[in-house]
Amino acid sequence: MGKNFKIGVIMILFLAIIVFAGPLIAPYDPNDVNMSIRLQGVTSAHIMGTDQLGRDLFSRLVYATGTSVKISLVVVIVSMVIGFVFGSTAAFLGGAVDEFLMRIIDVFMAFPTKIFTIAIAGILGASAFNITLALIITSWAVYARMVRGCVLTAKEMPFIDAATALGANRFYTIIKHVLPSVFQPLSTFAFQRIAHTMMAIVGLSFIGLGVQPPTPELGAMISESKNFMSTAPHLFIFPGLLISYVVFSFNILDDSLRDYWDPRIKSELAL
């Protein structure tokens, strides 16, 4: 599987520890305000310094990474499930139902994603829950379209005819033969979308429509640090490095997996 795969796995494992064991790692409460030590650089007590309210930057970063990554995972998993149900229903039922469901997908895909997400997030009001909801509303259609395509392709495969010829009933064929051939491209695609979703979340939080301060979140932290760029550049540099770390670890793993898996999928997902 190569070196990149190993690097990716190690990076993701390390990330998983930060995300799921955050409270054990962080030395301080991320919302512990102490104005007497505000905007400090690196010290022995605060290994990444403190922010404009004297909060420990390292502890905030640990929690912030957890927030951003968990929202990405929820968005990707829920969109994938909705897309799977919607897309496979369209493909299996076919005919007028398929036509109708496809028009709905077309309408959802007719909006430029960012504008659509911003509109929904703005109308619902900025919060972690609403940004999750907004991203699910704007991203499920891509999965649905993809699942539908995969199911339609799988239905035409010779092994499906073979199963039918051998007397397998429709339900058995679907569960045993059609769905498994959808899972691999779908999970590859979903994996690829994690990095993408993460970028969307930090971007929206950065412009003030996502997670709200004082909840630690990477994009929101960068936004808060804007006024202190000249005096305390570490406040924006560290969260940005962490975002790049997270996205890079998913990107490099995805890259090595694509080289490993079926070249057919590689060309399908090239965009």
* Residues of this chain that bind other proteins (CB under 8 A): 99, 102-107, 110-116, 118-126, 145-146, 148-150, 152-153, 195, 199, 202-203, 206-209, 219, 222, 226, 229-230, 233, 236-237, 240, 243-245, 247-248, 251-252, 255, 270-271
First to last CA, the chain: 23
Cβ nearer to other proteins, comparing 21 with 229 = 229
Tokens for 197? 């979703």
Name the minimum Å distance from CB 179 to other proteins.
Answer: 16
Residues 170-181: b if buried by 16+ CB within 10 A, e if exposed: eeebbeebbbeb
Name the minimum Å distance from CB 21 to other proteins.
Answer: 23
Give which of 227, 36, 206, 231 is closest to 131, Cα–Cα: 206
Name the minimum Å distance from CB 101 to other proteins.
Answer: 10
Cβ nearer to other proteins, comparing 55 with 145 = 145
For 50, list phi and psi in degrees, rounded to 5: -125, 160
Cβ nearer to other proteins, comparing 3 with 44 = 3
Longest dimension (CA), the chain: 78
Q: Is the peptide bond before 214 cis (omega within 30 degrees of 0)?
A: yes
Name the minimum Å distance from CB 50 to other proteins.
Answer: 19
Cβ nearer to other proteins, comparing 29 with 226 = 226
One-letter amino acid of 95: G
